[in-house]
Structure 1
């Protein structure tokens, strides 16, 4: 029972870590201080939980827990989180904190879900199964964010056309103004990209655990990374180049077609993504 409760807390730590990375990404793109502060406190909670687990492990083994691969991975993650908190608190180098915690999240997920560290085979299988559920859930949530972003882009182009043609009426009034439609489409992509990135990290871990002959050139794997790449390019152009308006809305609609191709076509061609087929 104790092991089960510790497992649940472990999984909660991974989820809190994922939320912290997501918020740090939002701050990275938007200079959102509120998101940064929330991410900091979530990361602080993660650090407290990690420290408690580290102390329990030291008490259980009677030594400093770094002698095995899995203990080393855990301690490495703890060091990353500790340094991230210190950098965020005292040096204010926020972007380094974001990229460091992307690495830290991957290592912690690897440590949490790899079955070899668990004494119980049943517990290991359950963790691997839950890893798959988290991976799929995060992927679908990211796809949902991209989908609503696509809808905002459609509304933007409809509103743009109505204004261009000077068709004033109830339909025009019921649609939000162009700036808000453009901004909401962008924000949803800001949420979707890091969520998809974290989902792919967990998916890769699951695939290496469960699939004997896992290949990177599987259609769904390549397609998912393609989706991540093209939406990352969108964010780069939107933030780095300052591109807004009709052009970026049209581009966003084209990116959604890439997502649909990946979801339906590449999913059916995949050797192991049977739940998407």
Structure 2
């Protein structure tokens, strides 16, 4: 089998980033989880993972990330959870080519976990349908289900109630200030809006939806506030998730690249395309 085939050890399984086109916090459950409304879209900023099966049941990440303990990494936790749920005795060594910044509000960790679940489901011949994989992943991260299902979506609940949606797929300029934002820090802040009235898609289309995390993040992390203020000189820029990424929709790729050239290099300006279908979903359709 050629080394670019999805069942080969050399195949690079994609794990795309997402952006939140808005994010409202509508309440807080008794278990501490916040209820949300948000609109997810993927972008073509992508991590890649490679999986090498081993026969001793051990699961290891060969390319660990700085400041994240090996056993706490969502890749490792997802693989171990799938092995436990399935009873599969097979182990795996995992390589990660990391391009999505950690703590940027782009869902990189959740996307890595979702790709791990999907890839190992295939490589270990487990046969779980996507809905079950999403349920397996949900306790690890509320964003994991949207990455498993692979379609842009309107989301509610803690992020797991998904309604697939087709949106325009514009070019965006992302700015990635050099800070790492911990989601738990933002959601624990007493100033966070927690009672936003529920909205409909028509409200988003009319432009009234916001990101409720933005006031907290920009107060706690001044570089995010600076990047967002600069980007808003050129249009209605927004923040993704709890940050630190801020983004602006551009008229086309050339316009995004022109603006990127003017941005402070410390913000790591990155031009991306919006995607309604995850590149991972495209691979799974072809198998």
Point out the structure with the larger helix share: 1
TM-score interval (norm. to shorter): under 0.3
Length-normalised TM-score, structure 1 = 0.24
Q: TM-score, normalised by structure 2?
A: 0.24
